[in-house]
Amino acid sequence: MKLYSLIVLVALGLVSCDDYLNTEPISQIASNGFYKNTAEVEAGLMAMYDGMQSYDLSNDIFKTDILPREFALTEMRSDNTKSKNSEGEWAQFQDMNVDVSNSTVSNYWLVNYNNIFRANVVIANLGAVAEEATKAQFEAEAKFGRALAHFNLVRAFGDVPLIDKVVSPEDNAANVRVAKSEVYNFIIQDLSDAIDILPTRSDIAEGRATKGAAHTLLGKVYLTIGDHSAAKIQLEAVMTSGDYDIIDNYNDVFYDELNDEIIFAIQYIDDDVEDAQDFSYEMTYLGKASGLNYPTEDLLAAVDPADGRFNTLFHFEIGAGSSGRYECGKFRPLTAANSEFAGNDWIVLRYADVLLMYVEAVMGTNSSTNDAGALSAFKEVRERAGYDVSGITEVTKQMLLDERRVELAFENHRLYDLIRFGVAEEVMEAFSQTEEADFNFNATKLLLPIPQRERNLNPDLTQNPGY
């Protein structure tokens, strides 16, 4: 997704690393000199998509040493992954004992609110768009981006400030944490509005929000708040759209980019300093020097070596010890030209997740289901992995959770799956007592701390319990 640095600097009034609400432009051209026509508003919209690139990499747009690696906040805070040496900030994630001054957490807050700002800038300047259909589409795309950022924040931090417009430093909205139920209602409204307008996949450039992406994200939101019947409706809309499908080879999902299984992905360009990413280097075996996102023995034990996904998920490093070891293999760089500037897209939403969420929606609060549609969806995912599914006549909650763990490993779903299924405390308490984990689990740590940097700037922001 090649975007323009001038646009990023001028159109967005980029935030400083000290305060995401500092919206003073750093360019010579003020914001009132921009957004005068359709092309300039679309440039602002493209900058919103550009901002998404910072959710899971160290693309140093804020000139800080550490930027969000979403896998640290999700996979490393579950039973899926760990660091190599248990040192520094990374040990805080695997021990679920994150400090209020943790830089990665602070910057995750920062980049999400920055992207909310970018979306709100687009919405505030829609009057410059002459054609009504184009205006409506831009608004729908901005609302999708705003919803995604708020969803990232509310799941990670619980109650958070809800920012529905461009705010000034004097606006108190940013200082007040809103009940998560209200944040979810806002996300639902944004996505519902977007669904009514967004085009289908074939009618818009790859990488931009689509009707299918909005349906999928809304389905996940409904599951998160426990509204299974509403989630089922959204997921069925994706399944019957004809725009998406399970592809034959699991490995191709990640290396044949923009395939039929991809619903929404954040795009990067290989060997491009401005639009490449480094998570492929850091979370795979190539980044073993940084020592991040190593699979736990618990995860390795959960995946049958005969499973067709095993060799995509894991890479065996010979000579890494007396007998070698398995390391994360998914999302390794597409080329070896410069592995620290990789072009692998980050998959946010894909069709296999939709199928498994559909089973979850059908199951609802029950412990199992034998619904024909749910069985068919579950079998479709499992059959691709090479299993004989003819004998499956029921899917239990545990079967579904186990399948999600393997199918979606290293894609930042595990912690939120455990929370949504209501088993996070049980699973993480048991894992914390294993020899490889060995930490004291506290259920309050399922939420991240409100960053101390933000509380210093906004003293009215309260802290989460346990911090």
User: In Å, what is the CA distance from 261 to each residue of 107, 220, 255, 343?
Assistant: 30, 17, 12, 18
Domain 10-197+423-467 matching CATH 2.60.40.420: the answer reads no
Residue 391 has pLDDT above 90, yes or no: yes
**What amino acid occupies position 143?**
K
* Core vs surface per residue 105-125: b (16+ CB within 10 A) or e: bbbbbbbbbbbbbbbbbbbbb
pLDDT grade for 255, boundaries at 50, 70 and 90: very high
Contacts of 371 (CB under 8 A, 6+ apart): 362
How high is the pLDDT of residue 218?
99
Supply φ then ψ for residue 205, to 5 degrees.
-65, 145
pLDDT grade for 314, boundaries at 50, 70 and 90: very high
β-strands 395-396, 368-369 pairing: antiparallel
Distance CA(347)–CA(67), nearest Å, equals 19
**What is this structure's pTM?**
0.91
Q: Could you tell me if residue 147 is left (phi over 0), alpha (psi between -120 and 50 degrees) or otherwise beta? A: alpha
How high is the pLDDT of residue 321?
54
How high is the pLDDT of residue 282?
78
How high is the pLDDT of residue 5?
35
**Residue 224: enclosing H or E segment and its boundaries?**
helix 211-224
Domain definitions of the chain by residue range: 10-197+423-467
Contact by Cβ (8 Å): 288, 327:
yes
- Average confidence (pLDDT) over 91-108: 94
* Core vs surface per residue 314-351: b (16+ CB within 10 A) or e: bbeeeeeeeeebbbbbbbbbbeeeebbbbbbbbbbbbb
Q: Of the ranges 13-22, 82-91, 216-225, 342-351, which one carries the lowest mean pLDDT score?
A: 13-22
How high is the pLDDT of residue 160?
98
What is the tens place of the pLDDT at every residue in 23-64? 333 333 445 668 999 999 999 999 999 999 888 765 443 344
Residue 14 has pLDDT above 60, yes or no: no
- Average confidence (pLDDT) over 70-74: 92
How high is the pLDDT of residue 410?
95
How high is the pLDDT of residue 285?
60
